[in-house]
Amino acid sequence: MFSAYIDMIRIRFLMMLAYRVNYYSGIIIYAINIGAYYFLWKAIYGTNETLGEFTVLQMTTYVAVSWMARAFYFNNLDREIANEIKDGSVAVQLTKPYPYLIFKMMQGLGEGLFRLLLFSIPGMVIVTLIFQIELPTQFDVWLIFMVMIFFSFLINSQINLLTGMFAFFVENNEGLMRFKRIAVDLFSGLIIPISFFPGWAQKVLEWLPFQAITYLPASVFTGRVVGNAIYNAFIVQVFWFVFLSVPIYVIWKMARRRLVVQGG
Amino acid sequence: MYYASIFTDYFKTYLKTRMTYRADFLIEVVTDLLFQLTNLFFILVVFLHTNSLGGWSIYEMLFIYGYFMIPYGVFTCFLNLWGFNERYIVKGEMDRILTRPAHNLVQLVLENMDPASLFGSLTGFIIMGYAWLHLDVSFVWYDPFVLILMVIGSVLIYGGVYILITSLSFFSDSPTGITPMIWNIQNYGRYPVDIYNKVIKFTLTWLLPFAFVGVYPASFFLDKDIPQGFALLTPVVGIVFFSIGFMVWNIGVNRYKGAGS
């Protein structure tokens, strides 16, 4: 069983390798975004030393590392699942001897690993050379950060599974998928770190899973969260991973029972 | 006259198709707007912590932002050819377009028009008006006319750049991924270009002139240190880029040999 999962990851990895054009343009898009936000934040800081609990150096590092982390955790599982539900091919998938949702997660992981190895890591090296950013010096910070972005991947993918599975219940979940995309980029702290939000918004976001995707791991990486607080941040991620598994399981059970494949 | 009558007919068909799925239509309009408003949110949150972004105040930033939304909405309504390669080249639909009596580009525009995106323009206009009320800038009788001229210029820039990029589909049949890239770049035209380094500033001014769909034309009304004469280049740049785009498009269509089998 385990080797089957490894193969799913491997095949998606190779598939990504085959569609290299998207890979090149992806690199340029991320480079543009990091570059533009870098200058934008520099201008926002102006002569200020710290804003929203961030120093300039922490902010530029935050921008770089959160975009690079996004390259790893980002995937389109929601759209893939919704399409397979709409065109009915999900019915074929259900006959396969492995759990469909885990299969999708593995595909997402293959995609993520591809971008991590060929994109985030070389990208981070280049960004470090061009821009003023500060990398953590302690080895264990790197280690916990790696574990944390793996959980970012899990939580983001879980949200994608939930959004995608919605297609079982409505005929068009396009709006929901778009809304999810906005919510993840905005509420995860990718566009603006959560400590910049007004107090009431911070309180609300603390109770949502999005901060676990970008804000928490990037805060550890930039050294804003140190010592035992690192473990607290990690526990929040684990909590959301476990907590989100429940609705996925329930909805999946419900959906299988009411699956109607049109035509075919 | 001829085009006006086809336009009306296509518009009626559009309304009929969209009104069949009202809920979908509404959701799409709302999420589109939300997507654009995330950037408004960015500006608002940032200005909770500072009073100036590279020398520009919050109301000036809002003004640029509002302006940015107007041509963008008009462009998405009429000239948006997103997914052209997949829908028209790969599926062979372009052959059908070429047999129609209307000019192929007009035919494409008619088939793809999306008047719902004009809600974005309206929202932008309201934001711009709101910012104006808080700014201490003079109002001159010719401002509304200049605004129309600027918006037309900006729309032509969008149109020119995207028609140029889309026509690459005629030269290479594999997807290039350039369109999403350009789509990303255009968003940076609504921030004051002086904050970027020289390379980015030059690119946004002359190569992919997205500063002319946001900060430059908007600054005409704001009495900033960007000279008004420079802002008035917007329609000129628009005409130049649209002409280039249209020329390359026509060359591409002439090279087009049709879908296989």
What is the per-residue pLDDT for B261?
47
In this prediction, what percent of chain A has a pLDDT beyond 70?
Answer: 98
Asked if the model's pLDDT at residue A263 lies above 60, the reply is: no
**Phi then psi for B258, rounded to 5 degrees?**
95, 160
What is the distance in angstroms between the Cα of A200 and the nearest Cα belonging to chain B? 13
Which run of H or E residues covers position B216? helix B215-219
Length of chain A equals 264
- Are A44 and B42 a contacting pair at CB < 8 A? no
Q: If we measure between CA atoms, which residue out of B254, B245, B206 comes closest to residue B75?
A: B245
Instruction: Please spell the DSSP secondary structure of A108-167, one letter per residue.
Output: HHHHHHHHIIIIIHHHHHHHHHHS-------HHHHHHHHHHHHHHHHHHHHHHHHHHHGG
How far is residue B194's CA from residue B192's CA, in Å, rounded to a whole number? 6
Q: Write out the residues of chain B at the interface with chain A, using a CB-CB cutoff of 8 A.
A: 21, 24, 27-28, 30-32, 34-35, 38, 41-42, 45-46, 48-50, 52-54, 174-178, 180-181, 184-185, 188, 191-192, 195-197, 200
Strand partners of residue A51: A54
More confident residue, B80 or A58: A58
Average pLDDT over residues B1-23: 88
- For residue A264, the number of C-alpha atoms closer than 13 Å in the C-beta half-sphere is 12
Average pLDDT over residues A196-220: 94
How far is residue A163's CA from residue A83's CA, in Å, rounded to a whole number? 12
Average pLDDT over residues B211-231: 87
**Closest residue to A191, CB basis, from B42, B52, B175:** B42
Which run of H or E residues covers position B169? helix B143-171
Asked if the model's pLDDT at residue A234 lies above 50, the reply is: yes
- Are B49 and A196 a contacting pair at CB < 8 A? yes
Contacts of A188 in chain B (CB under 8 A): none
In this prediction, what percent of chain B has a pLDDT beyond 90?
Answer: 45
Strand partners of residue B53: B56
Q: What is the mean pLDDT of chain B?
A: 89
Asked if the model's pLDDT at residue A120 lies above 50, the reply is: yes
pTM for the whole thing? Answer: 0.88
Give residues 28 to 67 of A whose Cβ lies within 8 Å of B.
28-29, 32-33, 35-36, 39-40, 42-46, 48, 51-52
Asked if the model's pLDDT at residue A264 lies above 50, the reply is: no
What is the per-residue pLDDT for A188?
94
**Closest residue to A186, CB basis, from B41, B52, B174:** B41
Asked if the model's pLDDT at residue B260 lies above 70, the reply is: no
Tokens coding B51: 């009073």
Is A103 in contact with A93 (CB distance < 8 Å)? yes
- Are A197 and B35 a contacting pair at CB < 8 A? no
Asked if the model's pLDDT at residue B96 lies above 80, the reply is: yes
* Chain segment A138-178, per-residue pLDDT in tens: 999 999 999 999 999 999 999 999 999 988 888 778 888 88
Average pLDDT over residues B148-176: 88
Tokens coding A193: 């770190």
- Are A35 and B200 a contacting pair at CB < 8 A? yes
More confident residue, B92 or A81: A81
Rg (Cα) of chain A, in Å, rounded? Answer: 19
How far is residue A54's CA from residue A36's CA, in Å, rounded to a whole number? 18
Average pLDDT over residues B192-198: 89
- For residue A93, the number of C-alpha atoms closer than 13 Å in the C-beta half-sphere is 18
> DSSP class of residue A52?
T
Kindly tell me the sign of the dihedral angle through the C-alpha atoms of B20, B23, B26, B32.
negative
- Are B53 and A25 a contacting pair at CB < 8 A? no
Which run of H or E residues covers position A50? strand A50-51
Q: What is the mean pLDDT of chain A?
A: 89
- For residue A149, the number of C-alpha atoms closer than 13 Å in the C-beta half-sphere is 24
Asked if the model's pLDDT at residue A110 lies above 90, the reply is: yes
Amino acid at A197: F
How far is residue A75's CA from residue B128's CA, in Å, rounded to a whole number? 36
Q: pLDDT band for position B175 (50/70/90)?
A: low
What is the per-residue pLDDT for A247?
95
Q: pLDDT band for position A260 (50/70/90)?
A: low
Asked if the model's pLDDT at residue B25 lies above 80, the reply is: yes
- Are B176 and A191 a contacting pair at CB < 8 A? no
At residue B252, the 3 state secondary structure works out as helix
Strand partners of residue B56: B53
Tokens coding B235: 């329609």
What is the per-residue pLDDT for B181?
81
**Phi then psi for A54, rounded to 5 degrees?**
-110, 140
Give residues 79 to 108 of A whose Cβ lies within 8 Å of B.
none
Average pLDDT over residues A123-133: 88
Tokens coding A263: 């035509």
Asked if the model's pLDDT at residue A24 lies above 80, the reply is: no
How far is residue A193's CA from residue A210's CA, in Å, rounded to a whole number? 12
